[in-house]
Structure 1
Amino acid sequence: MASIKNIFNSRTNKDGDFFFTIRKILGFKPKDLAIYEKAFTHRSSNETNAEGEPQNYERLEFLGDAMLSAVIASHLYKKVPGGNEGYLTKMRSKVVSREHLNELGRDLNLIKHVRTTIPIQQFGGNIHGNVFEALVGAIYLDRGYAYCEKFIYKRVIKPYVDIERLEGKIISYKSLFIEWCQKNKKPFKFSVYEDTGNDALKHFAVRLILENKVVGKARATSKKKAEERAAKRAYYKLQSEIDKDFT
């Protein structure tokens, strides 16, 4: 009994809380807690191991991205036997899109457990998806492919992968709009104009011009986001025309 008592005494309350938090998220017991601690460590912490190697989630994020793609690809291959390579690739892209991964990370409130020296509110939206990918990578290293697959089925495939819904899901309104314009030989351009807003963060304002007519306007903290929002507004304005060419 003394040895068991020593084991529990050796774990700090903080480690114990993190262990139970991770177990609840995973649905099974983690073996190597250190891997999960790395999955929740932002590079701003500047942590390194004995060899001087950075200890943050970025490498695990890379691994998790690959594991997600592999498991989702396998599921779609079995689920849609008539789907060709292009169809399956497009469907997988919809499941592992940055927008969807961010949604998964937010649903699990993963950012709450991130160790960082930067105030959480200063992070962009992609932090949620990045940590989710890192968590998947950590599961693979800790428990292997079978547990990793089990987690992805529980947290991604079962609640979110509906083939009919995914077929109608638009990943990028900007890409769709550009494809439609090119298909119909319609001239268009995204034009950045002066933003007179008083926001604390710098914003970009964009007009989407189609055949010399403004069909969408938007502003955001990056040019890319502003263009995507402008394209989304243009899509809903011209939805009947655009959908006619893609159905």
Structure 2
Amino acid sequence: MNFLRKIVRPKTKDDEEFYYDLKTLLNFKPVQLNHYKRAFIHRSLKMTDSKGKPINYERLEFLGDAILGSVIASFLYKEAPRGNEGYLTQMRSKVVSRENLNKLGKELDLIRFVKSNINQNQVGENIHGNIFEALVGAIYLDRGYNYCHQFIYDQVIIPYVDLQKLENKISSYKGFIIEWCQKTKRKYLFESYEDTGKQAQKHFSVVVFIDGQKIAKGRATSKKKAEEMAAKRVYYAFQKEINNS
């Protein structure tokens, strides 16, 4: 397929524009553009190769996720010599949280490269983080681990990784509220239900009860997001008590 042919130098106007955009973004010269092109193909295009295998960014996303995790793990191992396994795992999860990866993808404006049959406003928030991971996977296949390592340091570790701030960051408000309730012997309940209303896209609402009293509600396009939203509101409602407990 011409769209994914192996090239060392751009041979069309579109390839040339893509090449120079990537070069500016990555701070090094991409060699095989086919890897990077694949990193921005959404599954909605239903592209396949000559053997009928799907062509999209999902396999690169898997690869990039593993590489990103390994680079962050190595950094934390060196920078937090007193951290035990649990601490290191928790800190890595905070660095590579979906929220952080989505933010990275947005700031790099990676969505401009995506080819899809779905309107950009309808593909979902997580696409930004997904294609960031896919880009890391493409860098690995094109230039190897050292280039990935430098890219992750430049784009993730240097601007975002502050161990002291990360220690105080709550990675899951739901988990935090549950742990706090258990610690203070309070009864809690997360009650969820579909709440689509007149909207075409499915929505969920979650109501949180503490000791039988309704404290907060969250509404989002997934149950998990609605739970986090509601739990975050519970956190702020009880912040003084939480800080003193």
TM-score by length of 2: 0.92
CA gap 1:225/1:9 in 2 versus in 1, 3 angstroms: closer
Unaligned runs of 5+ in 1: 1-6
- The CA deviation at 1:185 is 2.5
Moved more, 67-76 or 184-193: 184-193
Which residue of 2 is the match for residue 213 of structure 1? Answer: 213
C-alpha distance in structure 1 between counterparts of 2:8 and 2:156, whole Å: 34
- The CA deviation at 1:187 is 1.1
C-alpha distance in structure 2 between counterparts of 1:68 and 1:86, whole Å: 19
- The CA deviation at 1:9 is 11
C-alpha distance in structure 1 between counterparts of 2:190 and 2:40, whole Å: 38
CA deviations 1:25-66 (Å, max 9, x no partner) are 111000110000000001111112222221111000000000
- The CA deviation at 1:103 is 0.6
CA gap 1:10/1:29 in 2 versus in 1, 3 angstroms: closer
CA gap 1:213/1:28 in 2 versus in 1, 3 angstroms: same
2:73–2:88 Cα contact (<8 Å) kept:
yes
Q: How does 1:123-202 map to 2 (within 5 A)?
A: 123-192=123-192, 195=195, 197-202=197-202
Runs of 4+ off more than 6 Å:
7-10
Which residue of 2 is the match for residue 22 of structure 1? Answer: 22
CA gap 1:206/1:55 in 2 versus in 1, 3 angstroms: same
SS at match of 1:205: strand
Q: How does 1:2-151 map to 2 (within 5 A)?
A: 11-151=11-151
- The CA deviation at 1:223 is 1.9
Which residue of 1 is the match for residue 226 of structure 2? Answer: 226
Which residue identity lines up with residue 46 of structure 1 in the other structure? K
- The CA deviation at 1:198 is 4.0
C-alpha distance in structure 1 between counterparts of 2:112 and 2:98, whole Å: 19
C-alpha distance in structure 1 between counterparts of 2:8 and 2:181, whole Å: 64
C-alpha distance in structure 1 between counterparts of 2:212 and 2:240, whole Å: 20
C-alpha distance in structure 2 between counterparts of 1:9 and 1:219, whole Å: 48
Which residue identity lines up with residue 181 of structure 2 in the other structure? C
- The CA deviation at 1:190 is 1.3
Moved more, 45-54 or 232-241: 45-54
Unaligned runs of 5+ in 2: 1-6
Which residue of 2 is the match for residue 4 of structure 1? Answer: none
2:23–2:30 Cα contact (<8 Å) kept:
yes
TM-score by length of 1: 0.91
Percent of matched pairs sharing the same residue: 59
- The CA deviation at 1:202 is 3.1
- The CA deviation at 1:204 is 1.9
Which residue identity lines up with residue 114 of structure 1 in the other structure? V
C-alpha distance in structure 2 between counterparts of 1:131 and 1:199, whole Å: 27
SS at match of 1:208: strand
Which residue of 1 is the match for residue 239 of structure 2? Answer: 239
C-alpha distance in structure 2 between counterparts of 1:198 and 1:149, whole Å: 47
- The CA deviation at 1:197 is 4.7
Moved more, 190-199 or 175-184: 190-199
Which residue identity lines up with residue 205 of structure 2 in the other structure? A
Which residue identity lines up with residue 212 of structure 2 in the other structure? N
Which residue identity lines up with residue 26 of structure 1 in the other structure? L
SS at match of 2:214: strand
C-alpha distance in structure 1 between counterparts of 2:194 and 2:40, whole Å: 39
CA gap 1:70/1:214 in 2 versus in 1, 3 angstroms: same
